[in-house]
């Protein structure tokens, strides 16, 4: 086993573990912190796939911006008071859990037993495409149109967030 493999399995274990911790915590602040840990691990896993730019963006955008927004809102609303939250187990949740496990088993079956359908590693290309240069070139040529569409998306989101959450309009 080389260092890279050990590194990968360590990250993978923390990745899944922190996800589990996140959905089971009562206190939303702690859940948010576990989710941030999860995002950092994901950035590390991206590096093992040679997706350098995505890895950096993952930390900047997800861990740095989106999760800060979450934590900020949790603090603003003072939601860390656990007594307000009740988590009862109901019939619906058992059904939901059962269905999810079924879906998971199906995915596992497909990934493990039908691996001939999957593509094999293209090592050289994968190093090439993950760089800032490659991402930038494609983003402003072939993918220019979707890139422009995201500007409308963000504009709509800004307008919407202001309309819904600003304390006093006008």
- CA 5 remoteness from chain centre: 22
One of 75, 133, 140, 160 touching other proteins (CB under 8 A) = 160
By CB under 8 A, residue 74 contacts other proteins: yes
Which of 7-14's residues contact partners 24+ apart within 8 Å by CB, and which partners?
7/44, 7/48, 8/45, 8/48, 11/41, 11/44, 11/45, 11/48, 12/41, 12/45, 14/38, 14/41
Is 90 strand, coil or helix?
coil
168 contacts other proteins (rule: CB under 8 A):
no
Binder among 77, 132, 133, 140 for other proteins (CB under 8 A): 77
Enter the tokens of residue 121: 């590693």
Pairwise CA distance, residues 11 & 161, whole Å: 35
Residue 125 beta carbon to other proteins: minimum distance, rounded to whole angstroms: 3
Under the criterion CB under 8 A, does residue 6 sit at the interface with other proteins?
A: no
Within residues 92-151, the interface with other proteins by CB under 8 A covers 92-93, 96-97, 100-101, 103-104, 106-112, 114-115, 117-122, 124-126, 128-130, 134-135, 138-139, 141-146, 149-150
> Should residue 49 be labelled a site residue for other proteins when binding is judged by CB under 8 A?
yes
Q: Contacts with other proteins in 22-41 (CB under 8 A)?
A: 22-23, 25, 28, 31-32, 35, 38-39
Here the tokens at position 72 are: 């900020």
Binding to other proteins by residue 15, rule CB under 8 A? yes
């Amino acid at each position: 086993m080389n260092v890279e493999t050990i590194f990968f399995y360590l990250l993978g274990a923390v990745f899944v573990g922190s996800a589990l911790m996140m959905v089971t915590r009562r206190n939303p602040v702690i859940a948010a912190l576990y989710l941030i840990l999860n995002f950092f691990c994901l950035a590390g896993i991206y590096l093992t796939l040679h997706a350098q730019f995505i890895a950096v963006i993952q930390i900047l955008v997800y861990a740095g911006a989106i999760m800060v927004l979450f934590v900020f809102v949790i603090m603003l609303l003072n939601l860390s008071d656990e007594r307000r939250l009740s988590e009862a187990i109901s019939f619906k949740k058992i059904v939901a859990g059962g269905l999810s496990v079924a879906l998971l088993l199906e995915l596992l079956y497909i990934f493990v037993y039908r691996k001939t359908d999957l593509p094999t590693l293209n090592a050289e290309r994968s190093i090439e495409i993950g760089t800032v240069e490659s991402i930038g070139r494609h983003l402003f040529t072939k993918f220019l149109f979707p890139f422009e569409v995201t500007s409308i998306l963000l504009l709509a989101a800004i307008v919407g967030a202001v309309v819904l959450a600003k304390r006093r309009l006008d």
